[in-house]
């Protein structure tokens, strides 16, 4: 069965995305494991011929949202979120740590869009489909996420005014 | 052609290299007279590269067993083994999957430290050479910048050998994470789209030299050698051993100079 093989091949990509999304390896691998289990259980719902990667990332997105709800985690509120100590595993570089910190401070919905576009290099249409949002929302979240990330990585406050995306 | 106004969406798509040719030119013209906006968009591109650099190591890392096993019972062991073998390429020697570099007959047995470079180089080749849109971070049109940048990050003088006489043109290069610090990867391509990558890293011990060694990692052939403080590995899935050896000699000769 081809989907099964493809699914296994996609595990490293799921891990990369999850790692950037949640900020540490252990939590990321927990998320990937839950995603794989759910994907296996739901594989009969996958429509052959459609993009398996987009489908799998949709599954992961749903699992992630449910996990956040279940652990009653709260989305970081703008920029004054206290930094959480994160278990450091492996030789993460300074760049990785800076990015982890900055990405963690993005609102969750912007974070997902930013990472699917830049890390996973998904088309805007696929991002919209994966997250179940209109493409206009993808573009505006992308724009906001990038501007915030730029401000954080350069140590400046995010520009207060952003152009409205049409 | 009527030019519609440049939107924020255009700028985002430009930062992602996703605009069609004509629109891209329009955005470039628009940015040319707006240095602040141009800087903002350039920063977005840099950040996107940094995000990829930061997390790409997850792609070559071995998949933890608990995840491999989630999938294992459903598909044949042989398939899993093939996939795990690929994934395990990134693993350190002595790791659980026990996947080993097998040098060909007649080649001196590699020490773990040197064969690791072959493995890393094969993983990097397998990861980046199939890329259509983003094979490199910096293209050959910016070769001077590429070489200066990589030399600075590695802390040694790096250069991209000219392989045109063998029909291989430089595509560009990128920075990768490595055990001893940053690693440079140059990519070449011939007219038929066959690709070759040169993996360049600094060595922990500075005074070693080795002969060429050959390893085959799944379908990727690798010639690798150490020259004082720098280790090199030339990898390709598209070329046979003889072709690769010829290129390795060419690279070696140029780097000697």
* pLDDT per position as a tens digit, A38-57: 888 888 888 887 888 999 99
Whole-angstrom distance, CA of residue A89 vs CA of residue A92: 7
Predicted local distance difference test score (pLDDT) of residue B115: 75
- Judged by CB atoms closer than 8 Å, whether chains meet at A37 and B70 is answered as yes
CATH code for position A101: 1.20.140.160
- The alpha carbon torsion through B140, B143, B149, B151 (nearest 10 deg) reads 110
Decide if A159 is inside a domain.
no
Whole-angstrom distance, CA of residue B79 vs CA of residue A13: 18
Together in a domain, B115 and B50: no
Decide if B184 is inside a domain.
yes
Together in a domain, B127 and B248: yes
Structural domain total, chain A? 1
For residue B196, what are the contacts with CB-CB under 8 A and spacing of at least 6? B163, B168, B187, B188, B189, B190, B234, B235, B236, B238, B239, B244, B247
Decide if B90 is inside a domain.
no
Decide if B78 is inside a domain.
no
Decide if A164 is inside a domain.
no
Decide if A108 is inside a domain.
yes
B138 touches chain A (CB under 8 A): no
Q: Which domain holds residue B163?
A: 101-256
Nearest chain A residue to B42 by CA distance is A150
Pick B63's closest partner by Cβ from A12, A93, A96. A12
Q: Which two tokens stand for residue B77?
A: 């062991």
Together in a domain, B241 and B115: yes
Together in a domain, B51 and B141: no
- Judged by CB atoms closer than 8 Å, whether chains meet at B54 and A96 is answered as yes
Together in a domain, B248 and B178: yes
For residue A31, what are the contacts with CB-CB under 8 A and spacing of at least 6? A18, A21, A22, A60, A63, A64, A67
Decide if A91 is inside a domain.
yes
Name, of A96-100, A131-135, B95-99, B124-128, the range with top average pLDDT: A131-135
Together in a domain, B26 and B153: no
Together in a domain, B43 and B142: no
Q: Is the pLDDT of residue A3 over 90?
A: no
Decide if B1 is inside a domain.
no
Segment B169-224, tens digit of pLDDT: 999 999 999 888 899 999 999 888 889 999 999 987 766 777 788 888 888 999 99
Decide if B233 is inside a domain.
yes
Whole-angstrom distance, CA of residue B225 vs CA of residue A77: 52
ipTM over 0.85: no
Nearest chain A residue to B83 by CA distance is A9
Mean pLDDT of the residues in chain A = 81
Decide if B91 is inside a domain.
no
Nearest chain B residue to A2 by CA distance is B75
Predicted local distance difference test score (pLDDT) of residue B16: 94
Decide if A162 is inside a domain.
no
**For A115-138, b where at least 16 C-beta lie within 10 A, e where not — what string?**
bbbbbbbbbbebbbbbbebeeebb
Predicted local distance difference test score (pLDDT) of residue A107: 93
State which residues of chain B have pLDDT below 70: 1-3, 71-114, 206-207, 257
pTM over 0.90: no
Pick A95's closest partner by Cβ from B54, B66, B80. B54
Structural domain total, chain B? 2
Residues of A within 8 A of B134 (CB-CB) are: 121
Whole-angstrom distance, CA of residue B133 vs CA of residue B145: 20
- Judged by CB atoms closer than 8 Å, whether chains meet at B16 and A150 is answered as no
CA angle A109, A114, A118 (to 5 degrees): 155
Decide if B207 is inside a domain.
yes
Decide if B72 is inside a domain.
no
Q: Which domain holds residue A7?
A: 2-153
Decide if A84 is inside a domain.
yes
Together in a domain, B125 and B243: yes
Decide if A158 is inside a domain.
no
Pick A163's closest partner by Cβ from B8, B63, B75. B8
Mean pLDDT of the residues in chain B = 81
């Amino acid at each position: 069965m081809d989907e099964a093989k493809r699914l296994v091949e996609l595990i490293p990509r799921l891990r990369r995305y999850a790692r950037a999304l949640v900020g540490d390896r252990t939590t990321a691998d927990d998320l990937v494991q839950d995603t794989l289990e759910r994907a296996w259980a739901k594989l009969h719902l996958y429509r052959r011929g459609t993009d398996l990667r987009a489908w799998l990332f949709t599954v992961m997105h749903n699992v992630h949202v449910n996990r956040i709800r279940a652990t009653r985690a709260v989305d970081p509120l703008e920029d004054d979120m206290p930094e959480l100590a994160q278990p450091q595993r492996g030789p993460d570089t300074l760049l990785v740590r800076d990015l982890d910190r900055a990405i963690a401070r993005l609102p969750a919905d912007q974070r997902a869009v930013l990472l699917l576009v830049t890390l996973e290099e998904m088309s805007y249409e696929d991002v919209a489909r994966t997250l179940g949002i209109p493409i206009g929302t993808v573009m505006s979240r992308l724009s906001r996420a990038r501007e915030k990330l730029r401000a954080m990585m350069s140590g400046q406050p995010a520009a207060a005014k952003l152009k409205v995306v049409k | 052609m009527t030019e519609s106004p440049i939107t924020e969406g255009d700028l985002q798509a430009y930062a992602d290299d996703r605009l069609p040719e004509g629109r891209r030119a329009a955005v470039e013209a628009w940015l040319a007279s707006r240095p602040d906006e141009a800087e903002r968009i350039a920063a977005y591109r840099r950040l996107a590269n940094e995000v990829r650099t930061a997390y790409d190591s997850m792609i070559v890392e071995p998949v933890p067993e608990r995840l491999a096993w989630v999938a294992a019972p459903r598909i044949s062991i042989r398939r899993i083994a093939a996939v795990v073998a690929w994934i395990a390429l990134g693993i350190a020697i002595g790791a659980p999957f026990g996947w080993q570099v097998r040098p060909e007959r007649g080649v001196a047995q590699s020490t773990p430290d040197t064969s690791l470079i072959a493995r890393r180089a094969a993983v990097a080749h397998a990861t980046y050479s199939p890329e259509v849109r983003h094979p490199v971070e910096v293209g050959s049109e910016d070769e001077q910048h590429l070489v200066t940048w990589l030399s600075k990050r590695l802390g040694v003088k790096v250069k991209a050998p000219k392989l045109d006489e063998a029909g291989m043109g430089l595509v560009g290069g990128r920075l990768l994470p490595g055990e001893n610090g940053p690693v440079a990867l140059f990519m070449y391509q011939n007219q038929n789209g066959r690709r070759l990558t040169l993996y360049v890293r600094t060595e922990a011990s500075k005074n070693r030299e080795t002969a060429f060694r050959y390893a085959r990692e799944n379908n990727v052939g690798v010639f690798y050698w150490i020259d004082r403080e720098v280790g090199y590995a030339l990898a390709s899935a598209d070329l046979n051993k003889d072709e690769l050896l010829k290129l390795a000699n060419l690279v070696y000769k140029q780097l000697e100079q």
